Chains A and B, each alone.
Chain A
């Protein structure tokens, strides 16, 4: 079963534990500036929204890469950066419509979410389950269930 990150902004408190966990996993230090997932705050801090790569099936970044440094992991479905191949041309950062591939000037390579090879640390670190790792084919299940509850209007009559 392939899994995806499921993000629920309503639950995000903007604590940035995910950004620290992400950078620690990939860089060995707590460093939000190098996190592959970012929290954005809106309306005077009223809303906070985590955002990262959604691992497109037809990925613009993969098509754009001139040296085949972006390779899909067949197990996780994540597009991963091969650091020994990447030449830091940044064309993928232009191609990505969502802005989730970014350049790291410290290494001269691009960085993006790789789902931590199937064990995403952001989801593990999130204290409120605003980020969870679930079956890719059913990321909408909870929302469907919530709305299903509204559709079943005959409930009281049956009872």
Chain B
């Protein structure tokens, strides 16, 4: 009921695939998806293992509400030890793959070992095959999906795969499903590639049932209506997440040129208005919006590139429509690198989807390379003759493709910003936390966001907490620790349901709980669900501690701590992390060294 009750364990070294019962004790304690995946990871992986070695495990986890009529019921999580951060890797994606993995009868897919040559996994209900992938190894995600569907004569197969970036070990390679949805962060695609696993294709006829169908349909009717009626939902349908770029520009929190600045003079060329206005050739970037599985919001952008643009003028294969810009891609390929050429941004986004890379990490890594280039540390001799100064539209487009394909200077960019900056003697230019690059919000202009970045278990991330309200009410760090802690626990709970965080545009915590309670056996209260979120958060922390991370890793780059923000609402401020962090540890029930106390662990049943 709501859970399928079984998981699939695949061992690529042995070439075995076996179903086993879902551990119901864990399901009841961790709900599903992110939480349950974290528990399975914790129990199946040595946190000290080499993330790119055969001892790492790759988990695809669905949640109890996946595949149901609850809105946005297509989210699934990919977990492993991250090669980018050395910490827990936990990345989630939309599209339709997750729901169909569950329809095949599995709550979770756990992949162990390493195949001796490239393979892909074909799942069709009880039939699970590990098949040779020689013919698709070395090709992109788009070709891979098409090839697998055609090979199995099943256009309804849903495919999650890696592109060349995952094969080549780009440390922020992602897993892409349904052409342009991705488990984007933490380098989960690099781990998939390290296992010689090209793709997982799933189709299923098992269906998903719920514990109390009458009650569930009543609740779903209400939650659909509530979401439909909310302003936040309407804004997401209309503009996706892209309009955030105008808000951050106005606020002065839009990271520009590797976080040297927080407002971008080229904003009008890369904001939502630019995507709906015709350019000089009469071409308009944005075509329409589309939805992930079960989603009644449909924030996804579908766009196309001006056929006259230099990136594709001689490449008709890229004239088709595909995934368009959302906020993070627009930020990372625009302001972060100082580029204001909308078609270059869109082309770079195509490259991310086709070759399977995280646009945030790529953009911020390129930004660091551009700063090194301006400093003269890098020269054209290093960058394949390409001008990599800030604002280089050519640099963005060319390097996006080179990185995906593992060519030239792209191999350096594949390291991520931290390793690149260390290699060239300027570790201070890495803009991120625990080895993962920042999203599009400046820690000095949004103090709670900074604390969230510093304490996020997967390295810098904007999606593990939600403190925009408090951050915009007060530019200081006062009183930020509590909302950061509380929202981290709530987001952790939401990420464990199988639903999308964006539903919070119209829903409160009680709406998630009502849907869980109707779908699952037992009593699901708000208290129980939030506690589950806190349990997951703490278990993630324990994984990281065991992996060797310490409180010293809960920090921000010197630019955030020492260089005053040059303009905007928080002009002159630096991050107040040193003030917020002790308060945060205390609220979490952790020691001054960021270690969960025995009392805290006991309270959470850990």
| 1-30 of chain A: CB within 8 A of chain B | 13-17, 20-21, 23-24, 27-30
The reply to whether A30 and B205 contact each other, CB–CB distance below 8 Å, is: no
Docked Cα-Cα span, A15 to B237, in Å, equals: 13
Closest to B292 in A: A15
The reply to whether B68 and A48 contact each other, CB–CB distance below 8 Å, is: no
Stretch of A31-39, A51-59, A71-79, A80-88 lying at the B interface: A31-39
CB contact between A125 and one of B67, B69, B288, B290 (< 8 Å): that residue: B69
Q: Is A127 an interface residue (CB 8 A)?
A: yes
The reply to whether B103 and A31 contact each other, CB–CB distance below 8 Å, is: yes
CB contact between A30 and one of B180, B207, B290 (< 8 Å): that residue: B207
Given A15-B294, A17-B294, A24-B69: A46 in contact with B321 (beta carbons within 8 A): yes
Docked Cα-Cα span, A2 to B206, in Å, equals: 35
The reply to whether B180 and A45 contact each other, CB–CB distance below 8 Å, is: yes
Q: Is B302 an interface residue (CB 8 A)?
A: yes
Given A15-B292, A44-B320, A44-B322: A33 in contact with B204 (beta carbons within 8 A): yes
Closest to A27 in B: B207
| 294-332 of chain B: CB within 8 A of chain A | 294-296, 298, 302, 320-323
Given A21-B69, A30-B208: A45 in contact with B290 (beta carbons within 8 A): yes
Q: Provide the residues of chain A in CB contact with B546, threshold 8 Å.
A: none
Q: Provide the residues of chain A in CB contact with B293, threshold 8 Å.
A: 15-16
Q: Provide the residues of chain B in CB contact with A152, threshold 8 Å.
A: none
Q: Provide the residues of chain A in CB contact with B156, threshold 8 Å.
A: 33
Given A33-B103, A46-B287, A48-B290: A106 in contact with B295 (beta carbons within 8 A): no
Q: Is A43 an interface residue (CB 8 A)?
A: yes
Closest Cβ–Cβ distance, residue B176 to chain A (whole Å): 13
Closest to B67 in A: A30
Q: Provide the residues of chain A in CB contact with B288, threshold 8 Å.
A: 46
Given A15-B294, A20-B294: A45 in contact with B178 (beta carbons within 8 A): yes
Q: Provide the residues of chain A in CB contact with B36, threshold 8 Å.
A: none
Q: Is B482 an interface residue (CB 8 A)?
A: no
> What are 16 contact pairs spanning A and B, CB under 8 A?
A14-B291, A23-B207, A24-B217, A28-B213, A30-B67, A30-B207, A30-B208, A33-B103, A33-B207, A43-B320, A43-B321, A44-B180, A45-B179, A45-B302, A46-B320, A127-B228
Q: Provide the residues of chain A in CB contact with B323, threshold 8 Å.
A: 45
Docked Cα-Cα span, A136 to B204, in Å, equals: 35
Docked Cα-Cα span, A128 to B287, in Å, equals: 17
Docked Cα-Cα span, A43 to B296, in Å, equals: 21
Q: Provide the residues of chain B in CB contact with A15, threshold 8 Å.
A: 291-296, 298
Q: Is B96 an interface residue (CB 8 A)?
A: yes
Closest to B102 in A: A30
Closest Cβ–Cβ distance, residue A68 to chain B (whole Å): 28
Given A14-B291, A17-B294: A29 in contact with B209 (beta carbons within 8 A): yes
The reply to whether A32 and B290 contact each other, CB–CB distance below 8 Å, is: no
Given A13-B295, A44-B179: A28 in contact with B69 (beta carbons within 8 A): no
Docked Cα-Cα span, A44 to B303, in Å, equals: 10
Given A24-B69, A45-B290: A106 in contact with B205 (beta carbons within 8 A): yes
Q: Provide the residues of chain B in CB contact with A29, threshold 8 Å.
A: 207-209
Q: Is B478 an interface residue (CB 8 A)?
A: no
Q: Is B462 an interface residue (CB 8 A)?
A: no
Number of interface residues of A (CB under 8 A): 26
Closest Cβ–Cβ distance, residue B326 to chain A (whole Å): 15
Known interface pairs A13-B290, A17-B69; 18 further A-B residue pairs with C-beta atoms within 8 A, sorted by A's residue number: A13-B295, A13-B298, A15-B292, A15-B296, A29-B209, A30-B67, A31-B206, A31-B207, A33-B156, A33-B205, A33-B207, A43-B321, A44-B320, A44-B321, A45-B179, A45-B302, A46-B321, A125-B69
Q: Is B289 an interface residue (CB 8 A)?
A: yes
Q: Provide the residues of chain B in CB contact with A23, threshold 8 Å.
A: 207
| 226-264 of chain B: CB within 8 A of chain A | 228
Chain B contact residues: over half helix, strand or loop, or mixed?
A: loop
Docked Cα-Cα span, A21 to B296, in Å, equals: 13
Closest to B100 in A: A32
Given A16-B294, A17-B296: A30 in contact with B68 (beta carbons within 8 A): yes
Contact bitstring A84-118, B, C-beta under 8 A = 1, else 0: 00000000000000000000001000000000000
The reply to whether B205 and A31 contact each other, CB–CB distance below 8 Å, is: yes
Q: Provide the residues of chain B in CB contact with A127, threshold 8 Å.
A: 224, 228, 296, 298
| 101-115 of chain B: CB within 8 A of chain A | 103
Docked Cα-Cα span, A18 to B255, in Å, equals: 41
Q: Provide the residues of chain A in CB contact with B103, threshold 8 Å.
A: 31-33
Q: Provide the residues of chain A in CB contact with B203, threshold 8 Å.
A: 33
Docked Cα-Cα span, A34 to B156, in Å, equals: 12
Closest to B181 in A: A45
Contact bitstring A124-155, B, C-beta under 8 A = 1, else 0: 01011000000000000000000000000000
Q: Provide the residues of chain A in CB contact with B292, threshold 8 Å.
A: 15
Docked Cα-Cα span, A7 to B210, in Å, equals: 29
Contact bitstring B192-230, A, C-beta under 8 A = 1, else 0: 000000000001111111000100010000001000100
Q: Provide the residues of chain A in CB contact with B205, threshold 8 Å.
A: 31, 33-34, 106
Closest Cβ–Cβ distance, residue A119 to chain B (whole Å): 14
Docked Cα-Cα span, A15 to B74, in Å, equals: 9
The reply to whether B290 and A14 contact each other, CB–CB distance below 8 Å, is: yes
Q: Provide the residues of chain B in CB contact with A125, threshold 8 Å.
A: 69
Q: Provide the residues of chain B in CB contact with A34, threshold 8 Å.
A: 205, 207
Docked Cα-Cα span, A26 to B316, in Å, equals: 45
Closest to A32 in B: B103
Q: Provide the residues of chain B in CB contact with A14, threshold 8 Å.
A: 290-291
The reply to whether B68 and A20 contact each other, CB–CB distance below 8 Å, is: yes
Q: Provide the residues of chain A in CB contact with B287, threshold 8 Å.
A: 46
The 10 closest A-B pairs by CB, nearest first: A31-B207, A29-B207, A13-B291, A33-B205, A46-B321, A15-B291, A127-B296, A13-B298, A29-B209, A44-B322
Closest to A124 in B: B221
Given A27-B207, A33-B205: A13 in contact with B294 (beta carbons within 8 A): no
Closest to B203 in A: A33
The reply to whether B289 and A13 contact each other, CB–CB distance below 8 Å, is: yes
Closest Cβ–Cβ distance, residue A129 to chain B (whole Å): 11
Closest Cβ–Cβ distance, residue B297 to chain A (whole Å): 9
Closest to B288 in A: A46
Closest Cβ–Cβ distance, residue B605 to chain A (whole Å): 31
Closest to B208 in A: A30
Q: Provide the residues of chain A in CB contact with B302, threshold 8 Å.
A: 44-46
Docked Cα-Cα span, A127 to B207, in Å, equals: 22
Q: Provide the residues of chain B in CB contact with A24, threshold 8 Å.
A: 69, 213, 217
Closest to B353 in A: A44
